[in-house]
């Protein structure tokens, strides 16, 4: 059973296939965290220790017992105001000006299936696949209720957490901070893995020892951001890709967030993740309810790669939705790096003709087809087709592309407006701006106030009107700036605006997915600036970075793989020299790198030679051969792409019968030494045949000694080797 309540010990135990999570209601009604780690039996309350600790406060109910302090004991949901001076998960202020809460256990419910969260994305599962635990905590004085939600998916080794706050008291409450999950570790020495970056260089992996004090990551940008991924890992010092204990928290939310790892005075560690608390002050009138977004947690006793695989499966099968969630996506060509804003309907059709000849399956018309939009200074907000620029209607263009045998897709940036647009001229108050101040611009655009339903409704109608003009099977949803001016004309409570904005985005996306259930939506924010599990609930793929350079992409995709599956990673072959770096790599290398994602192209195919077009045809055929394995296989990081001469990764079928090894030589030197790539996840007793050479390899030796890469001349060579277990060959 996934969730067990022991009435005598008052413990809640959550079991997954390989992990156990335990907490206990103590004599005072406080909920203490006992354990999260490798599967364990029995009650672990002996982990709680008591001593008289100076300057660690004691709750009144403990009487004269100076050994009981919440400043030292591991908490399940730490709050400000009860004597724990570490970083709280909840901080409230009441209308009378007082702060704090004192949460005591009231009741709990265990049920089959996975809870949902109104208005917010959440992991979903069938009644058989998941269980839910709700623990209701209440402040006896103010009657603030905090319901802790746990979703347990035993087969996936996943536990989700969320929080519902109910103002059951009579006075108004302000939520000043509400994290979704907090985990206390009474012992251990850890490293903190976080994923930092910038536009066009997202999700670099950083591993630092947890030291005294707090290490904080987050986003104040209103979106999850390029700068930090809302995903974090705590790993024991000796943990590697293959061995050791590690814990992940992955935030299913697309707005600002804060993640903290804190080491306290007694060397205990607290890891927490939730909503950004700056510019957050959410009002709750008596009777009102607030929902915290979900955190997906996982534990692995067998290293980081396994931890990532747990998250991959969860996101691929229990977060992404719709027709495309487990389907191989159409190979697309996107017009952005092909022609930027300079296109007409005819030139799009020419791109379509070359695409069809090369075996590409979908054409996406990127930015520039609407309003007055010949550069990025005007037009956003005017979602009507610029037929003059296109020289034809959208219906006609779509039909012509469809007649070539291609699907048709289109780009939007629904949350944005340029001052030079009809929408802004008609509704200047729909843009976020602080009264009396000039708004701060980003890419010369302003942000529409999606916390207001009438704004969301108006843009939704415009977008649907365009989508209904032809057979449009794909939509790219972009957002190309961070939010600065937080002021909504619709409320006096500006501390709620950023959260309500995200709810507005989700509402729009939910309506869109319901109205167009067969449409593939790809998320984007200047590449991977809103690359999070929240968006993945609506958009089963996200353009991973505006950087299409194959060598940089290896690193960006490597960092992304810690928390996210390849099935969500938008990845394209583009032109050389690369538009972001000026680097040249072979078409083969670009193809191998782009295949570690939802494969596509983004270049002017009309400029390619016949031989290059032929190579693309072969590349697409290769991709089709491997696509199910890439999409659904287990993903292994075989090297650290930030260190060493080789970047290597593999896809292995779960039953170990097939593996696709990918490697790119990142450095070249004179008289090169041989690089051996060690595989993982193979059958040690089996022999595997490499399909193009016919050579036989031992599964055990491939993992122990590795597979040698050829010593060849030239930079950035890529290798793709497909091995099939010998007993499976003739099936």
Nearer residue to ligand GLA within complex by CB, 164 or 226 = 226
Residues contacting 543, CB < 8 A, separation 6+: 476, 522, 523, 524, 527, 528, 570
Q: Which C-beta is closer to ligand GLA: that of 282 or that of 543?
A: 543
d(CA 89, CA 160): 16
Residue indicated by tokens 């839910």? 132
Q: Please write down the HEC assignment for all residues of 269-310.
A: EEEEEEECCCCCCEEECCCCEEECCCEEEEEECEHHHHHHHH
CB of 367 to ligand GLA, least distance (A): 3
667 is catalytic: no
Distances (CA, A) of 215 to 237, 259, 635: 16, 8, 29
Alpha-carbon distance of 636 to 628, in angstroms, equals 16
Interface with ligand GLA, residue 352, by CB under 6 A: no
Task: Return the range that interacts with ligand GLA (CB under 6 A); candidates 29-37, 105-113, 520-528, 639-647.
Answer: 520-528
For the bound state, the minimum distance from the C-beta of residue 250 to ligand GLA, rounded and expressed in Å, comes to 23
Phi, psi (5° rounding) for residue 258?
Answer: -140, 130
Helix (H) or strand (E) holding 35: strand 31-38
Q: Which two tokens stand for residue 97?
A: 């000006």
Contact 474, 334 (CB under 8 A): no
Q: How far is the CB of 634 from ligand GLA (least distance, A)?
A: 29
Q: Where in 308-337 is the site for ligand GLA (CB under 6 A)?
A: 336
Closer to ligand GLA by Cβ: residue 254 or 308 = 254
Quote the CA–CA distance of 247 and 230 in Å, as a whole number. Answer: 14
Among 83, 218, 381, 527, binds ligand GLA (CB under 6 A): 527
Among 138, 366, 382, 658, binds ligand GLA (CB under 6 A): 366
Which of 12, 369, 411, 477 binds ligand GLA (CB under 6 A)? It is: 411
**For residues 202 and 367, which CB has a smaller minimum distance to ligand GLA in the complex?**
367
Q: Tell me how far, at minimum, the Cβ of 579 lies from ligand GLA, in Å.
A: 11
- DSSP character at residue 503: H
Residues 420-479 that bind ligand GLA (CB under 6 A): 478
d(CA 489, CA 581): 42
Q: In 3D, which of 548, 641, 643 has the Cα closest to residue 597?
A: 548
List the Cα angle 26/29/32 in 5-degree steps.
Answer: 50
| Residue number, 13 or 421, with CB nearest to ligand GLA | 421
Compare residues 260 and 602 and give the one whose CB is closer to ligand GLA.
602
Shortest distance (Å) from residue 620 CB to ligand GLA: 21
Q: How far is the CB of 476 from ligand GLA (least distance, A)?
A: 6
Residue closer to ligand GLA (CB basis): 20 or 578: 578
Residue numbers 371-390 binding ligand GLA by CB under 6 A? 376
> Known catalytic residue: 552?
no
Q: Shortest Cβ distance from residue 199 to ligand GLA (Å)?
A: 8
Q: Is 367 in the site for ligand GLA (CB under 6 A)?
A: yes
- Alpha carbons 256 and 178: distance in angstroms, whole number: 12
Q: Is 517 exposed, middle or buried (0-12, 13-18, 19+ CB in 10 A)?
A: exposed
**DSSP string computed for 155-197:** GGTEEEEEEEEEE-SSS-EEEEEEEEEEEEESS--EEEEEEEE
Residue-wise burial string across 76-98, b where 16 or more C-beta atoms lie within 10 A, e elsewhere: bbbbbbbbbebbbbbbbbbeeee
Stretch that binds ligand GLA, among 345-353, 463-471, 522-530, 660-668 (CB under 6 A): 522-530
Give 76 or 478: the residue with its C-beta nearer to ligand GLA.
Answer: 478
Residue 344: CB minimum distance to ligand GLA, A? 17
Which of these is catalytic: 236, 353, 604, 612? 612
Give the active site residue among 102, 157, 478, 532: 532
Q: What angle do CA 637, 250, 129 make, to 5 degrees?
A: 90
* 3-state DSSP assignment of residue 267: coil
Task: Please say whether the dihedral angle defined by the alpha carbons of residues 78, 235, 151 and 568, taken in this order, is positive or negative.
Answer: positive
> At closest approach, how far in Å is the CB of 443 from ligand GLA?
8
Q: How is residue 481 annotated by DSSP?
A: S
Number of residues that bind ligand GLA (CB under 6 A): 12
The residues in 471-490 that bind ligand GLA, with binding defined as CB under 6 A, are 478, 480
How many Å separate Cα 313 from the centre of its chain? 13
Task: Name the segment binding ligand GLA (CB under 6 A); options: 239-247, 399-407, 523-531, 581-589.
Answer: 523-531
Q: Minimal distance in Å, beta carbon 456 to ligand GLA?
A: 21
Identified binder of ligand GLA from the candidate list 159, 524, 620, 627, rule CB under 6 A: 524
| 138 vs 552, beta carbon nearer ligand GLA | 552
Per-residue interface string for the shown chain with ligand GLA, residues 647-686, x marking contact by CB under 6 A: ----------------------------------------
Nearest-CB residue to ligand GLA? 367
Q: Rounded distance, CA 422 to CA 400, Å?
A: 30
Choose the stretch contacting ligand GLA; rule: CB under 6 A; options: 138-146, 295-303, 519-527, 559-567: 519-527
Helix (H, G, I), strand (E, B) or coil at 356: helix
In the set 526, 565, 597, 633, which binds ligand GLA (CB under 6 A)? 526
Locate all alpha helices (DSSP H) within 335-386, ordered by sequence: 336-339, 345-358
Near ligand GLA by CB under 6 A: residue from 543, 558, 599, 697: 543
Helix axes 587-594, 610-632, angle to 10 degrees: 20
Residue 343 binds to ligand GLA (criterion: CB under 6 A): no
Mark the segment that binds ligand GLA (CB under 6 A) among 28-36, 354-362, 521-529, 624-632. 521-529
The pair of three-digit structure tokens given for residue 219, joined into one six-digit string? 């986003």
Q: Which residues are catalytic?
A: 532, 612
Please report, as ranges, the residues that interact with ligand GLA according to CB under 6 A.
336, 366-367, 376, 411, 478, 480, 524, 526-527, 543, 546
């Amino acid at each position: 059973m996934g969730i067990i309540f022991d009435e005598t010990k008052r413990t809640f135990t959550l079991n997954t296939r390989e992990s156990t999570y335990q907490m206990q209601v103590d004599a005072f009604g406080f909920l203490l965290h006992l354990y999260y780690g490798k599967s364990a039996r029995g009650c672990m309350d002996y982990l709680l220790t008591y001593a008289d600790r100076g300057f660690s406060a004691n709750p009144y109910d403990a009487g004269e017992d100076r050994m009981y302090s919440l400043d030292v004991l591991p908490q399940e949901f730490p709050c400000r105001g009860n004597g724990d001076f570490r970083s709280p998960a909840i901080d409230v202020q009441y209308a009378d000006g007082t702060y704090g809460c004192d949460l005591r256990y009231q009741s709990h419910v265990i049920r089959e299936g996975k809870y949902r969260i109104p208005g917010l994305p959440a992991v979903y599962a069938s009644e058989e696949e998941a269980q839910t635990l709700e623990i209701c905590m209440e402040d006896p004085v103010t009657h603030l209720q905090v319901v802790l939600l746990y979703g347990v998916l035993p087969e996936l080794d996943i536990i989700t957490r969320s929080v519902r706050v109910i103002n059951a008291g009579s006075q108004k409450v302000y939520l000043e901070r509400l994290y979704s999950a907090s985990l206390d570790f009474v012992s251990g020495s850890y490293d903190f893995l976080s994923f930092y970056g910038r536009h066009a260089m997202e999700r670099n992996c950083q591993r630092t020892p947890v030291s005294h004090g707090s290490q904080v990551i987050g986003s104040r940008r209103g979106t999850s951001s390029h700068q930090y991924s809302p995903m974090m890992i705590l790993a024991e010092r000796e943990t590697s890709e293959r061995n050791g204990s590690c814990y992940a928290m992955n935030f299913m939310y697309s707005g600002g967030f804060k993640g903290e790892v804190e080491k306290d005075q007694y060397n205990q560690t607290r890891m927490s993740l939730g909503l950004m608390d700056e510019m957050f002050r959410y009002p709750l009138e008596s009777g009102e309810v607030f929902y915290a977004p979900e955190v997906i947690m996982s534990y692995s006793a067998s290293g980081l790669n396994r931890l990532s695989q747990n998250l991959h499966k969860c996101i691929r099968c229990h977060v992404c939705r719709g027709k495309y969630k487990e389907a191989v996506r159409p190979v697309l060509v996107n017009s952005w790096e092909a022609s930027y804003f300079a296109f007409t309907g005819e030139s799009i059709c020419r791109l379509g003709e070359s695409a069809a000849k090369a075996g590409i399956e979908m054409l996406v018309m990127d930015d520039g087809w609407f309003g007055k939009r010949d550069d990025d200074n005007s037009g956003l907000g005017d979602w009507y087709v610029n037929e003059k620029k296109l020289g034809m209607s959208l219906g006609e263009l779509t039909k012509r592309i469809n007649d070539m045998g291609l699907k048709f897709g289109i780009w939007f940036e629904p949350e944005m407006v340029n001052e030079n647009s009809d929408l802004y001229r008609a509704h200047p108050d729909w843009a976020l701006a602080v009264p009396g101040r000039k708004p701060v611009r980003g890419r010369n655009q302003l942000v529409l106030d999606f916390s207001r339903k009438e704004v969301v409704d108006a843009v939704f109608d415009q977008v649907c009107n365009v989508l209904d003009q032809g057979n449009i099977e794909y939509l790219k949803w972009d957002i190309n700036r961070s939010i600065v001016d937080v002021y909504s004309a619709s409320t006096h409570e500006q501390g709620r605006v950023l959260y309500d904005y995200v709810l507005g985005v989700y509402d729009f996306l939910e309506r869109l997915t319901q109205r167009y259930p067969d449409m593939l939506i790809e998320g984007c924010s200047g590449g991977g600036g809103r690359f999070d599990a929240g968006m993945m609930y609506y958009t089963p793929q996200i353009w991973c970075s505006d950087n299409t350079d194959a060598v940089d992409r290896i690193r960006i995709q490597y960092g992304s793989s810690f928390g996210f599956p390849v099935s969500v990673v938008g990845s394209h072959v583009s032109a050389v020299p690369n538009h972001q770096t000026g680097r040249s790599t072979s078409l083969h290398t670009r193809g191998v790198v782009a295949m570690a994602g939802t494969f596509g192209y983004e270049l002017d195919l009309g400029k390619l030679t016949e031989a290059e077009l032929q190579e693309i045809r072969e590349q697409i055929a290769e991709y089709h051969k491997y696509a199910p394995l890439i999409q659904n296989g287990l993903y292994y990081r075989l090297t650290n792409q930030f260190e060493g001469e080789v970047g290597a990764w593999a896809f292995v079928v779960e039953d170990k019968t097939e593996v696709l090894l990918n490697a790119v030589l990142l450095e070249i030197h004179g008289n090169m030494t041989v690089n051996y790539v060690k595989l993982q996840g193979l059958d040690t007793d089996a022999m595997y045949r490499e399909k193009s050479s016919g050579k036989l390899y031992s599964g055990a030796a491939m993992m122990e000694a590795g597979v040698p890469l050829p010593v060849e001349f030239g930079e950035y060579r890529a290798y793709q080797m497909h091995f099939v277990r010998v007993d499976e060959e003739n099936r």
